[in-house]
Structure 1
Amino acid sequence: MSTPSTQPPAVEPLRPVDRAWLRMDTPENLMIITGVMYFEPAMDLATLRRVLETRLLRVRRFRQRVVDGPGGRACWQEDPAFDVGRHLRPLELPPPGDETALQSVVGELMAQPLPHDEPLWRFYLVERYKGGSVLISRLHHAIGDGVALMMVLLSLTDLEPRPGAETEDSPFSALMHDNHEVRHAAAERARDVLPEVIALMSRSRAAADRARAKLLLRLSADFGRLVARLPDPKTPFKGRLGVNKRVSWSQPVSLGDVRAIKNAVGGTVNDVLLTAMSGALRRYLQRRRHPVDGLNLRAAMPVSLRKLDQLADLGNRFGLVFVSLPVGIDDPRARLAELKRRTEALKGSLEAAIALGFLHGMGHAPRAIQRLVERIFGSKATAVMTNVPGPRQTLYLGGRAIRDLLFWVPQSGRLGMGISILSYDGRVRLGIATDERLIPDPHAIADCFHHELDAMLELARGS
């Protein structure tokens, strides 16, 4: 008879980039990706637990904690005391239990650190909300980037409401399989649900090949431009941060309306949404009586550098580009044209790859050097902004239809605002997360976003 092993579980060193994200936590800005999922009908905690045990926990990272490995190097290691009950918790909203109460709770959670002696994630289930349920997810950026975690989400879901599905594999469970051939077959299924994300990763590989060919010619020039940029101008969006956060989101917007604007005014869906967001920031600053003429504000935007054959690998494989938003332009058509010109200029840049290289180096550097680099790069932007094309069709979790999705990436350095744009099932939502001390009313920015889109839709109908 074999005896139980007394050896500690094997350790797996963190990649330098992931270690950099782990060390980036500060009380004012925690490096945690927060998501909100609304589904109906309502779900009970036991059903959701079965989904996680069957589908999520097969991914070892969600059973692992960070420990000090050989030579003091941060490593992943199986948590010997792992209990899913510590990570999935029931939550009740304060009265009256409406959207405002939900936003308040999400903001409060954003200010709470995850314990580093346990696996770096937490799920909270609000069982009763508007006839359905809400799942609030919190995952540390050290586990993975937005694309990786989108694949994790997809691996939990079904394409139809199958009874008892929570105890079976998802059609996308193989996305997290160790065998690349098995993952490839699942990736082909994912292409039908997330075609834009798959296309992006195909382009990422082609871009990487082109980058290698021109690296020596362009690297020094792009590096110089990135480092030499002046800090973003002082506005109400920048200043000394506090700990408390505020969260808001827009009402759902039809992607059909966004495409109608695109067809009439020009550009892409992405151009239209970023133009509306730039206009929303302009309107908000005007409400606070801050001058906006000629104003440009940079948004740090993640760019996936994940190759298609790395579809479901966890960890971080993205860089950043700094998009200059023409907040100072009043006319939406002129603002869109200028924004398109600026984003087109970035497409040939190696800026994202250089930023990823910086993150890799920060993971090796002493913590004091990492903090210095964070401050330098944090000064060059006003916000972190993501624009993610999500699933095109309704997905199901535990037999319930997922009706809405929202998420926010963390604001690194000294940034006080995170902006997320996510499309799902023919609609798009804007999410705003802000530092309470700087921007106590993020709902006002969401309102301004709607005003901008309405104005652009009116222009489109008059064309």
Structure 2
Amino acid sequence: MSTGTRRTMGGADAMWLHADRPNHLMVIDGIMWTEQPVDWDRFRRTIQERLVDVYPVFHERPVEPTRPWDLPAWEDDPSFSLTHHLHRARLRRPGGDKQLRDFLQKRVSRPLDRSRPLWEAWLVDGYGEGSVLFTRLHHAMADGMALAEVMLTLTDPSPGGHDAPREAGAPEGRRGILVPAAAGLVRGAMRLPTVPVTAWKAVGVTRKLLLDVLPGSLFSGEPGVDKQLTWSDPHPLPDIKAIGRATGTTVNDVLIAALSGALTRYLETFEESVDHLTTMVPVNIRPPDQPLPRELGNKFALVMLHLPTAPMAVGERLAEVHRRMERIKHSPEAFITTAVAEGIGHLHTPLDKPLVDFFAGKAIGVTTNVVGPREPRYLAGVEIAGILGWVPGSGGQTLGVSIFSYADTVRIGFKVDAATVPRPERLVAFFEAELDALRLATLEDA
């Protein structure tokens, strides 16, 4: 039933709405956990007042156009109820990481109901002595960086923080959210409309986007429906910063180098080796000093990062990652991919799906690296112990990576295709081994 209140989607929003596949749902999955139980009633009020009452897309549903040349729209859901979207559950005993992973894996492959607003949230009790907030938000609502900021508006800087309404984009909700891999890329993308792009750089990016071929490996198998999630223990962020200072690189460089080395070790266990694996890296192109719009939407780009996975010393790999990141920062790639995504969204099905698959086929998945709040945050009065979030892959992609820094620690999480990437816990172990090797190499060179 139409309510008569509609607003047209942007082209990028429409692209993500149409990109859903059974084996790749365009849903951003996030977890936020505590070591003490979260009060259900206070939590419900927080969701209502800080999400539903502030951002219209949390009470709007998607509507396809009646004319093929029009874009889809959002309209108010006439039967909206928080009970349709907010759920409560309890883990099986003993309520550890295994039980939590089992709970998540049963739900991450379920499509959202398109007759309602495209999100759901679960408050899961029985995770040790605490609780887990598990959120599923469709990419058509907004990009992952914006939704990370939105979800942090649910939190407070102290346990006495009250769940009063906040304006969209208020500074308290935006504190500390950044994609460090894209810091320089954002500045470059924002300059591009006023600074002429040299022809050779534009041609080079176009060749990369059109002609790049992903090397065949275990990660390039045909993905299935089921996904697996796993994540690391927290690592002290000062240790990562120390490696960066000693080597003249960034925190992001260090973490991406450790990821590259972990993928190299993982492939070696299957007697495979490739010179590089490509991952997509989201670039936030919203002005960092402006609040999020109430309508949210997608305002980001994707760049292709070639992870160096050939056999090499850890220091050499770190230097190579740094060189590749610097090269991307000084290219127009972010600006060009933004225009491509917006254009694909205006094509509509069936033309947009093959194009999405074409570009997705050039990478094994998406890697996000988010710097969250530096100080502890509180959900409904309870301190948050950790945060992770995964943006969706598409096409033949099989590996999503979430790196999230919070309260002076950093964690890595993997979302893998269960049919093609076995034993993902090895990826965590290899990532930690690579960090240890980088620390040791740094000490030896000091």
Do both proteins adopt the same fold according to a TM-score greater than 0.5, normalized to the shorter chain? yes
Q: Which residue of 1 aligns with 2:434?
A: 452
| Preserved contact between residue 211 and residue 350 of structure 1 (Cα < 8 Å) | no
Q: 1:275 aligns to what?
A: 257
Q: 1:404 to 1:459 in 2, by over 3 A?
A: same
Candidates 276, 279, 284, aligned match of 1:296: 276
Q: Give, in whole Å, the separation in 2 of the partners of 1:264 and 1:201.
A: 21
How far 1:104 moved relative to its partner? 2.0
Quote how far apart the aligned CAs of 1:215 are. Answer: 3.5
Kept after mapping to 2: 8 A contact 1:67/1:77: yes
Determine which structure has the larger helix proportion and give its number.
Answer: 1
Question: Residues 114-153 of structure 1: matches in 2 within 5 Å?
Answer: 114-153=112-151
Residue 17 (structure 1) aligned with residue 17 (structure 2): no
Residues 196/19 of structure 1: CA separation in 2 closer, same or farther (3 Å cut): closer
- Secondary structure at the residue paired with 2:33? strand
- Residue of structure 2 aligned with 1:378, choices 360, 365, 378: 360
Gap change, CA 1:7 and 1:273, over 3 Å in 2? closer
AA in 2 matched with 1:43: V
> For structure 1, which segment, 116-125 or 371-380, has the greater mean C-alpha deviation from structure 2 after superposition?
371-380
More displaced stretch, 388-397 vs 22-31: 388-397
**CA apart distance, 1:222:** 3.9
In 2, Cα distance between the equivalents of 1:198 and 1:95? Answer: 38
Matched letter for residue 146 of structure 1? G
RMSD of aligned alpha carbons? 2.2
- The 1:450/1:200 distance shift into structure 2, 3 A limit, reads closer
- Among 18, 41, 46, the alignment partner of 2:41 is 46
Matches of 1:435 and 1:207 in 2, distance apart?
32
Displacement of 1:8 after TM fit?
A: 2.3
- Residues 44, 127 of structure 1: 8 Å contact kept: no
Contact 2:180 2:369 in 1 (8 A): no
Is residue 2:304 matched to residue 1:308? Answer: no
Structure-2 change in CA distance of 1:159 and 1:415 (3 Å): same
Q: Which amino acid aligns with 1:17?
A: A
SS at match of 1:90: strand
Q: List per-residue Cα deviations over 1:243-264 (Å, max 9, x = no partner).
A: 0001100111110111121122
Residue correspondence of structure 1 range 67-146 to structure 2 within 5 A: 67-69=63-65, 71=67, 73-146=71-144
**Aligned counterpart, 2:227:** 245
Note the residue ranges of structure 2 that are not aligned, 5 or more in a row.
none
Report the alpha carbon displacement of residue 374 of structure 1 after superposing the two structures with TM.
Answer: 1.9
Report SS of the residue matched to 2:103.
helix
SS of the counterpart of 1:383?
coil
Q: TM-score if structure 2 supplies the norm length?
A: 0.93
> For residues 198 and 275 of structure 1, do their structure 2 counterparts lie closer, same or farther at Cα, with a shift above 3 Å needed?
closer
AA of the residue aligned to 1:13: T
Deviation readout 1:81-105 (Å, 9 max, x if unpaired)? 0010111111222343210111122
2: CA distance between counterparts of 1:221 and 1:131? 56
Q: Give the drift of 1:362.
A: 1.1
Q: Shift of residue 395 of structure 1?
A: 1.0
AA aligned to 1:40 is E
**SS class of match (1:422):** strand
1:276-355 correspondence runs (5 A)? 276-292=258-274, 295-308=275-288, 310-313=290-293, 314-355=296-337
Which stretches in structure 1 are left out of the alignment for 5+ residues? 1-5, 177-182
Distance 2:2 2:443 in 1: 69
SS in structure 1 of the partner of residue 57 of structure 2: helix
**SS in structure 2 opposite 1:100?**
helix
Which of 387, 395, 398 is matched with 2:380 structurally? 398
Rounded to whole Å, the distance in 2 between the matches of 1:344 and 1:413 is 28
Indicate conservation of the 8 Å contact 2:188/2:330, yes or no: no
Change (3 A) 1:202 1:333: closer
1:365 corresponds to which of 329, 337, 347: 347
Q: Secondary structure at the match of 1:109?
A: coil
Q: Write the distance in 1 (CA, Å) between the matches of 2:361 and 2:180.
A: 33
Structure 2: how far apart are the matches of 1:61 and 1:424? 27
Comparing 436-445 with 259-268, greater Cα deviation is found at: 259-268
Contact 1:201 1:305 in 2 (8 A): no
How high is the TM-score relative to the length of structure 1? 0.90
- In structure 2, the partner of 1:57 is 52
Cα displacement (A) at 1:310: 4.9
**Offset at 1:201?**
7.5
Q: Which of structure 1's runs of 4+ aligned residues deviate more than 4 A?
A: 195-203
* Contact 1:148/1:311, CA 8 A, preserved across alignment: no
Is 1:429 matched with 2:425? no
Shift of 1:223: 4.4
In the other structure, the counterpart of 1:32 is 27
- 280-289 vs 373-382, greater mean Cα deviation: 373-382
> Residues of 1 paired with 2:110 and 2:344: CA distance?
25
